[in-house]
Amino acid sequence: MTVYAAPGTEGAIASFRPRYDHWIGGEYVPPANGQYFENPSPVTGRTFTEVARGDADDIDRALDAAHGAAPAWGRTSVTERAIILNKIADRMEEHLEELAVAETWENGKPVRETLNADMPLAIDHFRYFAGAIRAQEGSISEIDGDTIAYHFHEPLGVVGQIIPWNFPILMAVWKLAPALAAGNAVVLKPAEQTPTSILFLMELIADLLPPGVVNVVNGFGAEAGKPLASSSRIRKIAFTGETTTGRLIMQYASQNIIPVTLELGGKSPNIFFSDVAAARDDFYDKALEGFTMFALNQGEVCTCPSRALIQSDIYRDFLADAVARTEAVKQGNPLDTDTMIGAQASNDQLEKILSYFDIGKAEGAKVLTGGHRAELEGDLAGGYYVTPTIFEGKNEMRIFQEEIFGPVVAVTEFADFDDAIKIANDTLYGLGAGVWSRSGSDAYRAGRAIEAGRVWTNNYHAYPAAAAFGGYKGSGVGRENHKMMLDHYQQTKNLLVSYSPNKLGFF
Amino acid sequence: MSDDVRPGQAAGSPPARVAVTDDAAALLVKLRDKHGDLMFHQSGGCCDGSSPMCYPDGDFITGDADVHLGDLAVDSFTVPVWMSRSQFEYWKHTHLTIDVVPGRGAGFSVEAPEGVRFLIRSRLFTDDEWELLRD
């Protein structure tokens, strides 16, 4: 067990500046309007730094820097870009612990997750796209013996990216790695709840990227996000967040006729078929862990398995074991490597989750465990902690239909295969799903029948590069985490060439 | 939360689907001075979801995919409240009151820079109200 010292205290391996400006053209640039906003740590609820409050002027300056850098960056060879991405990965690996502690301090998630998931995944993501861009080939079509269509990949130019607060560094890297590999320059706006850790990363890798290739402007959505998303000077916008903002961003994009990738909400079903309980063995133990995955990252994941569907004949026994497993989740100081669940990312989020406890109870759902704020002591007393919560109810209830984005799972039972699929698909969303069965054919058929972009089969919450991730239905457009994401950041240039000396004969 | 809740414009029969608290109404007066006419679209899902997003009126383009829940009567002006039709299917039994609390706001909603955020308070319609709404 290790307990990392809090940033700003003696012995801390990561420290923050007292104030952060925008990152434009490879250096810190004060906000044009001179304004800053406070950034509290969810671990304690206390402000640890202040951050530039950007507006349209700052977005314009960042776009100037990006447009200045984009032509030369787009002409670099894929070899050069791959080397840089690999160097970024190496640099992050050398500083993995500092990055993990910084991320935990800003977001509230347990450091064992940032050490073992967020940062290793982010590092690997750069390496994956370094490899993918090297291996990418254009294509040719032989139209006839003398006529050839050549297809080249070209960068889009300058792109905009708006990042959520639940995985501040990892979600930024999911978008940065393919964009940079493809040769684009980026203006990135982090979430106002987590504006700092990405700047911590930018400082670490500043010497590796040409100035202006990545620019970071912080601020509020209405003041900084909107001028970026609606700018006529970006060739693409990528967004992860909620549905109404996603629609608004698409509307802005339609005015500029630019492509959009959106990763929006989810209400993911996690289905446990009868044969899961055929033996009390390693697989059963794994399935119980799979159920408890709703508490990963405090439930602040778009793919949180927030609806557990359990087959009727094992319902009572499996649920009893699942409650026991959930009650064994250790909550505490996020900087302690033994802690399994940390703080919700903001006070707003805490209040929203607590309001859903009231909504669930008012609708008649039964609380099997949790259902309240977790009161921690000492420095943690002001932090935003919630006890992992299991509700039992019906799929029509709001707690089954709305994304709570907290450590809350709503459980119901199903009779048979068809019933399971019907309940699973009765949702506006289609991002993730889980299927647990010892029968390969049942698991396969269920996975194909569920309307979701990612169906974890006998596992959950793994996010390896090379497995495409994205939504069906109201959950978005595009596929991240896979080389197909390169297509979302590239133009196709077709040269249609005639090698024939002969005229067509039309004129 | 303020206990004084103003009914939406359509108060009477059938009952209004939306209302606004005095605190939220006062903020809307202030925001209208800054941004002009306003609108709400109730969001769904993900990080900042399930929040009433407040935009300059017309900034968010509504269409057949949306339901107009009603208009909030605020001083001399009104603020339309919208929700996506698919989400309304799950919320149609619910009366919504727009309130405001300290916080950071979300998405592109215009109140966030003021250090506050709009919040939905909801309750299920009574059987009597629901009968009137269905007619």
Q: What is the helix (H) or strand (E) element at residue A408, kind and residue range?
A: strand A408-414
Q: Which amino acid type is present at position A214?
A: V
Give B37-91 as a DSSP string.
Answer: SEEEEE--SSTT-SSEEEEETTSSPP-TTEEEEEEEEETTEEEEEEEEHHHHHHH
| Residue A471: how many other CB atoms lie within 10 Å | 25
Are A218 and A54 spatial neighbours (Cβ–Cβ below 8 Å)? yes
Instruction: Report the DSSP beta bridge partners of residue A192.
Output: none
Interface contact A348, partner B, CB < 8 A: yes
For residue A37, give the chain B residue with the closest CA: B113
Q: How far apart are CA A81 and CA A74, in angstroms?
A: 9
**Residue A145 class from Cβ within 10 Å (0-12 exposed, 13-18 middle, 19+ buried)?**
exposed
Q: Taking residues A426-445, report their average pLDDT.
A: 96
The whole-number pLDDT of residue A60 equals: 98
- Whose tokens are 């810190």? That residue is A28
Closest B-chain CA to A247: B60
Q: In the prediction, which pLDDT does A180 show?
A: 98
Whether A149 has a pLDDT exceeding 60, the answer reads yes
- pLDDT surpassing 90 at residue A67: yes
Distance from chain centroid for Cα B89: 17
Q: Which of A51, A244, A361 to mutate to test the interface with B (most CBs of B within 10 A)?
A: A244
B105-132 mean pLDDT: 88
Helical segments of A136-215, H only: 168-181, 197-204
Write out chain B residues lying below 8 Å of A222, CB-based: 105, 108-110, 112-113
Give the pLDDT confidence score for residue A486 in this predicted structure.
Answer: 97
Contact partners, residue B93, CB within 8 Å, separation at least 6: B124, B125, B130
Residues of A in contact with B59 (CB under 8 A): 248
Task: Quote the minimal CA–CA distance from A339 to chain B in Å.
Answer: 23
Chain A residue nearest residue B86, CA to CA: A428
Q: Report yes or no: B5 and B19 within 8 Å, Cβ to Cβ.
A: yes
* Chain A, nearest residue to B59 by Cα: A248
Determine the 3-state secondary structure of A253 from DSSP.
helix
**Domains in chain A, please, with CATH?**
22-135+158-264+475-490 (3.40.605.10), 269-457 (3.40.309.10)
Question: Which residue on chain B is closest to A426 by alpha carbon?
Answer: B90
Kindly state the DSSP code that residue A115 receives in the 8-state scheme: I
Domain B16-134 adopts which CATH fold? Hypothetical Protein Aq_1857; Chain: A; (2.60.300)
Cα A223 to the center of its chain, rounded Å: 23
ipTM of the complex: 0.88
CA–CA gap between residue A332 and residue A339 (Å, rounded): 6
Which chain A residues are within 8 Å of B27, Cβ to Cβ?
none
Å between A502 CA and nearest CA of chain B: 54
User: What are φ and ψ of residue B49, in 5° steps?
Assistant: -75, 180
Burial bucket for residue A207 (CB in 10 Å: 0-12, 13-18, 19+): exposed
Q: How much is the mean pLDDT over chain A?
A: 97
B47-63 average pLDDT score: 87
- The A residues from 410 to 429 touching B (CB cutoff 8 Å) are 428-429
Residue of B nearest to A189 (CA): B107
Task: Identify the residue among B47, B50, B85 best suited for mutation to test binding to A, counting A beta carbons within 10 A and taking the highest.
Answer: B47
The rounded percent of chain A whose pLDDT value lies above 90 is 95
Chain B residues with at least one Cβ partner in A under 8 Å: 41-51, 53, 55, 59-61, 84, 86-87, 90-91, 94, 101, 103-110, 112-113, 117, 119, 122-124
> What is the value of pTM for the model shown?
0.95
- What the block records as the tokens of B5 is 């809740």
> Residue B2: is its pLDDT beyond 50?
no
Sheet holding A408-414, edge to edge: A366-369, A389-392, A408-414, A307-311, A269-272, A432-436, A454-457
Number of residues written out for chain B: 135
- Res. B133 pLDDT band, cuts 50 70 90: confident
- Calculate how close chain A gets to B12, using CA atoms only, in Å: 26
- Is the CB of B45 less than 8 angstroms away from the CB of A242? yes
pLDDT tens digits, A208-242: 999 999 999 999 999 999 999 999 999 999 999 98
What 8-state DSSP symbol labels residue A138? -
Q: At what angle do helices A78-94 and A96-107 cross, to 10 degrees?
A: 80
Per-residue pLDDT band at B3 (split at 50, 70, 90): very low
What distances in angstroms separate CA B106 from CA A130, A193, A224, A248, one per listed residue? 34, 9, 12, 13
The tally of CA atoms less than 13 A away on the side-chain side of residue A25 is: 12
Given A244, A266, A401, which is nearest B43 (Cβ)?
A244
Contact status of A352 with chain B (Cβ, < 8 Å): yes
pLDDT digits (tens, 9 = 90+) for A1-46: 899 999 999 999 999 999 999 999 999 999 999 999 999 999 999 9
Q: Which pLDDT does position B123 carry in this prediction?
A: 86
- The beta-carbon neighbor of A241 closest among B46, B60, B124 is B46
A193 contact B CB<8A = yes
**Cβ(A413)–Cβ(A272) below 8 Å:** no
A244 touches chain B (CB under 8 A): yes
Tell me if chain B has a CB within 8 Å of the CB of A359.
yes
According to the model, what pLDDT value does residue A5 have? 97
Q: Would you say B68 and B80 are in contact if contact means Cβ atoms under 8 Å apart? A: yes
Angle at A234 (CA atoms; ends A230, A239), nearest 5 degrees? 65
Catalytic residues of A, by residue number, are 263, 302
**Tokens for A378?**
């000492």
Q: Which residues of A touch B109 (CB under 8 A)?
A: 221-222
Q: Is residue B12 pLDDT above 80, yes or no?
A: no
Q: Across the strands, what pairs with B53? A: B41
| A14 or B11, higher pLDDT | A14
CA A457 to chain B, closest CA, distance in angstroms equals: 23
Task: Provide the pLDDT confidence category of residue B6 given band limits of 50, 70 and 90.
Answer: low
Residue identified by tokens 């347990």 is A110
CB contact under 8 A, B60 and A226: no
The per-residue pLDDT of chain B, averaged, comes to: 86
Q: In what order do the strands lie in the sheet with A476-477?
A: A27-29, A22-24, A214-216, A185-189, A158-162, A237-240, A260-263, A476-477
Mean pLDDT of A143-171: 97
